[in-house]
Amino acid sequence: MPVVIISIESLVQNVTDYNTIGWKNLKMFKGKLFTFLTVSIFFIYLGKALYHFYHLYHPNTCQEQNSKNCYKPLQEFINNDDPIVQIRIYQTFTKTFSINDNEIFRKNDLHLNEDFHETVNLDISRLNKKNGILYLHLFVLPNSYNGKSSLDAKWKSYTYLKLTEMKIPADETSKLLESSQNKRITKSNSYKILHILDIFPFAIVNEFLSFSSNEVPPEFYGVMSVINNEYTPVVISDEMNIRESNFLKVEKENTSIVIRIEYHPLSIGSFRMQMNMKQSFIHLKDLGFSEKDFDDVKNIFTNVNIYYLSLIITVCTVHIVADILSFKNDISFWRSKKDMKGMSTKVLIWNCFSDSIIFLYLIDQQASLLIIIPSGIRIFIELWKLKKATKITIKFDHIIIPRIYFGQKSKQEIETDQYDSEAMRYLYAIVTPLVIIGTIYSLIYIEHKSWYSFIINSLANAIYGFGFCFMFPQLFLNYRLKSVAHLPWKAFMYKAFNTVIDDVFSFIIKMPMSTRIGCFRDDIVFVIYLYQRYIYPVDKTRIDEYAIVEETTTDKEKKDQ
């Protein structure tokens, strides 16, 4: 009878072990499947994007040069390595051009393959009488044309640009202890006033290809002028080279302004890219993106070749994939974590507070949405991790009034908290005086938009300083425990990889200087983490990101028996 009971108990134990192993294997399979699908989808997208960009720079051309179905460039531009043209610019107060409009600039011998710039003094004394509307009209003409009217040339290309716009002025800054105009400045920024551009950039496509009439790239529609199956040079106002900083406030006493006329040649690929970006900006405006956000994109994509563009797209795609996998592995790790042994709770509290301040700081500094949106997502993840770490549960005992309950800490967690507090005492003693000195210096010597801006800036700088030091308690815990097995290493590796990419893009995308320095700050900590990973053994019995526990020697011996 005892033999039968033992056999039944062994059978039940084996079934339980099998179900446990099967469930763990299923979790591991689901995790790997998610990673595989995420990487596959993004790299399929990457391949499609690179293929699309290749065809932007290499469109289909017409092979039958004498066919009536071909649109060819004018004869003077075919096989011409150094084409030259004449340009004339007119100032008007209406969108429609008239032969009586004032000519402000003329240049012969403009080489299409070379950059050109010139400054012109523009009369704006009548601007307020004309409802604040001012246009510049540009004509590209044959270099030999001497006629008075641009409309009478044998061929012409044309574009225009509106110079004036009603905009909310940029925030003014002042030294807070010396200025009493802070309230006035804040009020002045609440309504739009007249601004004028100090630059007129234009571009001409300097590649002259033949196109089949039914395969003309759609970007040429509306800007290509065809005469007897021959098209004139394609000219556009180069809005991709206009930045928000180029808009100047128009004061009542202003009677003239100096504007800069700039010419940049464009390849067919760059031209098509700009036209596509222009359409994208129109749609993004409807989603709440501002002109400052477009400036960041313009800085990346203006005047780039296909190789640099392909590199940017590839790096951005890899960065997004690593971000998603980092978030996924971090969440998986914390979902499966049962206790806070070896993890710094104070660091989690600090992360929630600091990420919230940094989020407000980025908004105050009008940083790019490319930086603000991930920062906002990070706040929610850190709050969820803090809730799990502190074992907080919320119950509605009386339907309306919630009650908060805190879970009990284990002996190992109490020991971890003691080490955590020990590390924090050292850090507070070092960092606090530095933060106070930096805040006083900022108040006295640095200009700010308002007291709110000063407070947010000071808190952000303090957070970047404390944030660097708050990474060290975890290093201290690793040192005291002589182990790094309690850390989510897969998430760390993805974050470390992204940090390297952030180092590069910190000089491409607009962001505050302290945020830029913060990218390099993280590199130092990750290097120390890697060193600790090397010198401290990994505990094979810990639960990993997929809740898998590796078998110990004792477990194997039991199975062998």
pLDDT of residue 5: 42
- 467 and 354 in one domain? yes
| Residue 238 maps to a domain | yes
Distance CA 169, CA 194 (A): 9
Give the phi and the psi of residue 68 in degrees, each rounded to 5: -70, -15
pLDDT of residue 34: 73
- 256 and 183 in one domain? yes
- Provide the residue count of the chain: 561
Tell me whether strands 84-92 and 102-111 are parallel, antiparallel or unpaired. antiparallel
Mean of pLDDT over the chain: 76
Q: In this predicted model, which residue has the larger pLDDT, 506 or 92?
A: 92
| Residue 9 maps to a domain | no
Give the phi and the psi of residue 251 in degrees, each rounded to 5: -90, 160
Distance CA 14, CA 561 (A): 13
pLDDT of residue 28: 63
Distance CA 288, CA 148 (A): 46
Q: Do the beta carbons of residue 106 and residue 163 sit within 8 Å?
A: no
Assess whether pLDDT exceeds 70 at residue 137: yes
pLDDT of residue 400: 64
With b meaning 16 or more CB within 10 Å and e meaning fewer, what string describes 492-527? Answer: bbbbbbbbebbeebbeebbbbebbbebbebbeebbe
- 107 and 33 in one domain? no
- 311 and 332 in one domain? yes
- 218 and 251 in one domain? yes
pLDDT of residue 37: 82
| Residue 6 maps to a domain | no
- Domain's final residue, options 338, 360, 382: 338
| Residue 433 maps to a domain | yes
| Residue 239 maps to a domain | yes
Find all residues with CB under 8 Å of 503, minimum gap 6, and list them.
519, 520, 523
Distance CA 481, CA 342 (A): 7
pLDDT of residue 258: 92
Please name which of 6, 34, 108, 15 lies closest in space to residue 325, comparing C-alpha atoms. 34
Distance CA 438, CA 441 (A): 5
DSSP E strands in 131-274: the ranges are 135-141, 157-162, 164-167, 193-197, 199-205, 211-212, 226-227, 230-231, 235-237, 247-249, 256-266
Please name which of 130, 206, 210, 121 lies closest in space to residue 162, comparing C-alpha atoms. 130
- 520 and 416 in one domain? yes
pLDDT of residue 401: 64
pLDDT of residue 150: 92
Rg (CA), the chain: 32
| Residue 143 maps to a domain | yes
- 528 and 410 in one domain? yes
Distance CA 252, CA 256 (A): 11
% residues pLDDT > 70 (the chain): 68
- 311 and 264 in one domain? no
Q: Note the pLDDT tens digit of each residue in 256-279.
A: 899 999 999 999 988 998 888 888
- 317 and 225 in one domain? no
- 459 and 333 in one domain? no
Assess whether pLDDT exceeds 70 at residue 429: yes
- Domain's final residue, options 286, 319, 338: 338
| Residue 540 maps to a domain | no
Find all residues with CB under 8 Å of 180, minimum gap 6, and list them.
none
Please name which of 99, 261, 89 lies closest in space to residue 159, comparing C-alpha atoms. 89
Mean per-residue pLDDT, 122-148: 88
Q: DSSP 3-state assignment of 99?
A: coil
Place of tokens 């403009």: 110
Q: Do the beta carbons of residue 203 and residue 467 sit within 8 Å?
A: no
Assess whether pLDDT exceeds 80 at residue 120: yes
User: Looking at the 3D structure of the chain, how many domains does it have?
Assistant: 3
DSSP label at residue 409: P
Q: Note the pLDDT tens digit of each residue in 268-314.
A: 988 998 888 888 888 777 776 777 777 777 777 776 666 777 777 77
pLDDT of residue 307: 74
Tell me whether strands 230-231 and 157-162 are parallel, antiparallel or unpaired. unpaired
| Residue 8 maps to a domain | no
Structural domain harbouring 314: 20-58+305-338
- 327 and 360 in one domain? no
> What are the angstrom distances between the C-alpha of 526 and each of 329, 471, 491, 494, 496?
17, 10, 12, 11, 6
Give the phi and the psi of residue 35 in degrees, each rounded to 5: -60, -45
% residues pLDDT > 90 (the chain): 16
pLDDT of residue 559: 44
- Domain's final residue, options 320, 338, 356: 338
- 328 and 217 in one domain? no
Q: Do the beta carbons of residue 74 and residue 155 sit within 8 Å?
A: yes
Per DSSP, the residues of 199-239 read: EEEEEEE-----EETT---GGGTTT--EETTEEPPPEEE-G
pLDDT of residue 550: 41
Distance CA 358, CA 377 (A): 12
